[in-house]
Structure 1
Amino acid sequence: MGIAIDTFFLNPHHEGTLQTRIQRMVAQGILSGRFRPGEKLPSSRALAAHLGVSRMTVTLAYTELVADAYLTARGRSGYYVGDDVPQPSGHVQVARADSVDWDAALRPPPPQVPRVERPRDWRSYRYPFIYGQTDPTLFDHSNWRLCAVQALGARDFEAMTADLYDRDDPKLVDFIARQSLPRRGILAAPDEILVTMGAQNALWLAAQVLLGPGGRAVIEDPSYPPLRDILRLGGASILPVGVDASGLRVDGLPKAGVVFTTPSHHCPTSATMPLERRRALLALAAERDMLVVEDDYEFEMSFLGPPAPALKSLDRDGRVIHVGSFSKSLFPGLRLGYLVGSKPFIAAARALRSTTFRHPPGHIQRTAAHFLELGHYHALLNRMSRAYRKRRAVMEAAIAAHGLEVAGRGSFGGSSLWMRAPGIDTHDLAARLRARSVLIEPGSPFFADPARGRDTYRLAYSSIPEDRIADGIALIAEEVRRMPGRPAS
């Protein structure tokens, strides 16, 4: 592969002869990682014309770089970056002066809150109890590829290429209205549905439309960490409310403009809100004229029993905003979700969306629409449910055998268990386990006060093969027993 000639320029601030400056330019490109081993450099004639210097100057510079082992010359083929040049240890560093006071310039400053971190190379770990990632052994690669090719065809040319302005793919909206939502007991017209870039984008749109600076928002504690970031950046007042085995506590709920909740599968404890509490929440919301944003993720993974009715299906006066997503059930990189609400709310959210990115990419929407419409989606859900059922059974048996403590489990399924290790800082536990190729997720980032969650952690079974679960749990139990601060048994 050749290096584009447009990436070469002589820095006017560098001193020395033209030959020296060209040598420095190429050497810096190699040492920074911009030019990689085996890549071909422009010919001396072409680079000389591009830089406005003589061809002899470039040739002499190349010759010196060959002598210093930065380049190799291959007969009549030209000059190439050498195979044995030093490799950069990190990201490309650009030397420049930056005199901007970014702490003052960024308004509002980015939130400094704990996040759920995982290594980029998490797939290389033998025991990745990592939540929300796709298992390549379960995903239907071939049919997704066929649907993507179909979406590239002439028949779908308009859906793929057109600027829809503030509209969405009608085939995708039709599937959501006729298939996805009725499974949750929800009936909605097309103008009551908005396609989003995943559930997180849907939550951002809802928060922006429903809450201004100083608006009061109830959130669960613990809760989905990005939601706190979204509300904080929007200037809302955040009112954390604790959860129990039945989800968000409704008794004593403070008055607010909006209540954000994950009733079907609480994040992160997996608690499911029973029907009586759902009705109590809606009654209280009506009494106090509050709106409710329902994040209904993971209801598809109902392999232990049918999920409870969606809050939106119980809504009789239009105060529930429903958030759905295909990112967990298909794959997280898809970033495709949806909002369901009353027409005025969806119109306002659509107008706000159009000022940022108009609509999710047409090709992605149409590919997903074909995948859903042709039945591949339901087949995938069935395959995932069978696999998750087996993995969960193996995990629960191993946890029981080793005496680990489960703090929360989804009543209808899901893809994770919420754990507690009394007296142990699970950040330290996670660091010890990482050295043994085991990944867990410490629980403190989910809490408004991270100190409250230091002894909690999440174990997901969506991304780890069934035959590795028991050995991974055994390693976790072994490290828990070794940890200082563990209560005596």
Structure 2
Amino acid sequence: MSIDGRGDRTERVYRELRDAVLDGRLRRGVRLPATRELAASLGVSRSTVSTAYERLTAEGYLVARVGSGTFVAMPAAADGRTPRRPAAAQPAPAWRDLADPLWSEPHPIAYDFSVGSPDPALFPADAWRRAVTAALRGPALRTAHYADPAGPERLRAGIARHLGLARSVAAAAEDVVITSGAQQAFDLLGRTLLSPGDTVAVEDPGYPPVRQLFEQLGARVVPVPVDEHGLRVDRLPPARLVYVTPSHQFPLGGVLPLERRTALLEWAARHDAVVVEDDYDSEYRFGARALDPLQRLDADGRVVYVGTFSKTMLPGLRLGFLVAPPSLVPALRSAKRLTDWHNDVVTQAAMASLLDSGAFASHVRRARRVYEERHALIGREAGPLLASRLAVVPSSAGLHLALRPVDGVPFDSARVTAAAAVAGVAVQPLPRFAVSGGWEGLLLGFGAIAVEDIPDGVRLLAEAVGRIRAG
């Protein structure tokens, strides 16, 4: 608040306070400074502030409570909403009405089969609390300088060691860049690898935020079909970059066979392209060990391996990473510095501690057992109840299963999803993830639903499918 210049100072104090109440800057219940304190800060007399307070109290904007002080009494605006400011400024056309197919406003739902959500009840809260406490007491915060954009060496080394043991990724600490989740890794890669008009190939159906991101960066994004084995490498166009999920194709769940992996690397060499390998949830593999990642097979330095702690820990930590060929790391470090400089130092230090102590590996083993039980239960429940309309797509990893219509059976994914929601069941329609048509079906995540709720949830979903069929 500023009360400079000539004029009625009492009137100015009154109007400034009244406008702050009306536009929501001062919300109901907020305690105002004492008259002496506010007068001193504004450089006016105490009587000026007292008179303004009295007028605002008489008009119902403020209320005085003996022994407690003066508080805001009136909510912002008569209808309870903060008045909107003029909206002359507009975003660039590409950013207008950009839909988010994965996110929705959180709300209570009885049976939540959302995709991509880990179970927060499995989060190793005690180990994390100890690690954060130790980080707060350590040297991470005792510096006046910004940290390394690529992340602390201890965390990068821990990630490289973990990936080598768990996924056979060939990496050293200097190959790793810490990011704010996998999405920022894709953003950094787009910024450093692409020029406007460059062609990017993505899976179809696939992960929509990646497709949207590369489009916003000015790339020409070409959807490439997938089948039960993953990306159709034979359908790839010439491109600067291809995004692929070879170990657990999102969203169908296929595993790219070795011959296609070899063909993909040969394609990249022919077209001088970069392969972005998103290994988003391979920690949760049930049964046989996965094929070695593309990064391990890459002899030319064309594959960038991207991972995240959003599925193994929590999305809210915003902690991911990429493993890049040495030729790309300097540019990626610079892009990270220019984007947000570096991730939160306490979170990074705590994650490094969990990796070094073995607590992270123990947590993943425990969580894998829980998710394996849910994965198997959904398969057992969905098979008999939905067999006449939907078939479960075989998958041995991750936090969701895809269901496709039985051959020759018509299926309306949008109507089924809406009917399920009315019954208290949240599922996601498969067409939401596809650019081309013909991809009817549903996705059932099992990270956010308790194992004891799965049978009832699947039963209610089957009843919703039956109602749509009858209608």
Length-normalised TM-score, structure 2: 0.88
Counterparts of 2:372 and 2:50, CA distance in 1: 66
Residue in 1 that maps onto 2:395: 410
What is the CA deviation profile of residues 143-167 of structure 1, one whole-angstrom value per residue up to 9, with x for unaligned ones? 1011011111145555x76423444
Residue in 1 that maps onto 2:122: 138
Q: How far did 1:301 drift?
A: 0.5
State whether structure 2 residue 32 is matched by structure 1 residue 41: yes
Counterparts of 1:395 and 1:434, CA distance in 2: 18
What is the CA deviation profile of residues 46-72 of structure 1, one whole-angstrom value per residue up to 9, with x for unaligned ones? 334445555445434434544555433
Is the Cα contact below 8 Å between 2:309 and 2:319 reproduced in 1? yes
Residue in 1 that maps onto 2:425: 438
Residue in 2 that maps onto 1:78: 69
Counting only pairs closer than 5 Å after superposition, residues 145-224 of structure 1 correspond to structure 2 as: 145-157=129-141, 162-224=145-207
Equivalent of residue 335 in structure 2, options 349, 352, 358: 352
Counterparts of 2:353 and 2:258, CA distance in 1: 34
Counterparts of 2:12 and 2:113, CA distance in 1: 51
Counterparts of 2:394 and 2:29, CA distance in 1: 52
Counterparts of 1:341 and 1:466, CA distance in 2: 38
State whether structure 2 residue 462 is matched by structure 1 residue 477: yes
Partner AA of 1:480 in structure 2: V
Equivalent of residue 355 in structure 2, options 360, 369, 372: 372
What is the CA deviation profile of residues 131-150 of structure 1, one whole-angstrom value per residue up to 9, with x for unaligned ones? 22342321111110110111
Counterparts of 2:290 and 2:159, CA distance in 1: 18
What is the CA deviation profile of residues 440-473 of structure 1, one whole-angstrom value per residue up to 9, with x for unaligned ones? 2233332224x544x3332110011111122122
Residue in 2 that maps onto 1:5: none
Q: How far did 1:241 drift?
A: 0.8
Is the Cα contact below 8 Å between 1:111 and 1:232 reproduced in 2? no
Counting only pairs closer than 5 Å after superposition, residues 82-481 of structure 1 correspond to structure 2 as: 82=73, 92-95=82-85, 97-100=86-89, 102=90, 106=92, 109-110=94-95, 112-122=97-107, 124-157=108-141, 162-403=145-386, 405-406=390-391, 408-411=393-396, 413-420=397-404, 423-449=410-436, 451-453=437-439, 455-481=440-466
Partner AA of 2:136 in structure 1: L
Counterparts of 2:179 and 2:319, CA distance in 1: 6
Counterparts of 1:113 and 1:98, CA distance in 2: 18
What is the CA deviation profile of residues 254-305 of structure 1, one whole-angstrom value per residue up to 9, with x for unaligned ones? 2222221000111111222122322232233334443211111100011333
Counterparts of 1:224 and 1:231, CA distance in 2: 12
Counterparts of 1:208 and 1:139, CA distance in 2: 33
What is the CA deviation profile of residues 88-124 of structure 1, one whole-angstrom value per residue up to 9, with x for unaligned ones? 97874443x4444x25xx3x631655422444333x2
Question: Equivalent residue of 1:194, what SS?
Answer: strand
Is the Cα contact below 8 Å between 2:383 and 2:392 reproduced in 1? no
Structure 1 range deviating more: 382-391 or 164-173: 164-173
Counterparts of 1:325 and 1:315, CA distance in 2: 21
Q: How far did 1:19 drift?
A: 6.1
CA 1:111–1:34 in 2, change beyond 3 Å: closer, same or farther?
closer
Question: Equivalent residue of 2:444, what SS?
Answer: strand
RMSD: 3.0
Partner AA of 1:75 in structure 2: V
Q: How far did 1:359 drift?
A: 2.3
Is the Cα contact below 8 Å between 2:203 and 2:224 reproduced in 1? yes
Partner AA of 2:427 in structure 1: I
Counterparts of 1:11 and 1:393, CA distance in 2: 71
Is the Cα contact below 8 Å between 1:222 and 1:267 reproduced in 2? yes
Length-normalised TM-score, structure 1: 0.85
What is the CA deviation profile of residues 176-217 of structure 1, one whole-angstrom value per residue up to 9, with x for unaligned ones? 222223422222233222222211111122222222122122
Partner AA of 2:129 in structure 1: R
Ranges in structure 2 where 5+ consecutive residues have no aligned partner? none
Is the Cα contact below 8 Å between 1:223 and 1:447 reproduced in 2? yes
Counterparts of 1:65 and 1:74, CA distance in 2: 14
Is the Cα contact below 8 Å between 2:150 and 2:336 reproduced in 1? no
Alignment length (residue pairs)? 465
Question: Equivalent residue of 2:67, what SS?
Answer: coil
CA 1:47–1:444 in 2, change beyond 3 Å: closer, same or farther?
farther
Structure 1 range deviating more: 213-222 or 420-429: 420-429
Is the Cα contact below 8 Å between 1:69 and 1:85 reproduced in 2? no
Identity %: 35
Counterparts of 2:462 and 2:14, CA distance in 1: 57
Is the Cα contact below 8 Å between 2:77 and 2:83 reproduced in 1? no
CA 1:435–1:284 in 2, change beyond 3 Å: closer, same or farther?
same
CA 1:465–1:69 in 2, change beyond 3 Å: closer, same or farther?
farther
Question: Equivalent residue of 2:276, what SS?
Answer: strand
CA 1:425–1:112 in 2, change beyond 3 Å: closer, same or farther?
farther
CA 1:85–1:162 in 2, change beyond 3 Å: closer, same or farther?
closer
Is the Cα contact below 8 Å between 1:250 and 1:277 reproduced in 2? yes
Ranges in structure 1 where 5+ consecutive residues have no aligned partner? 1-7
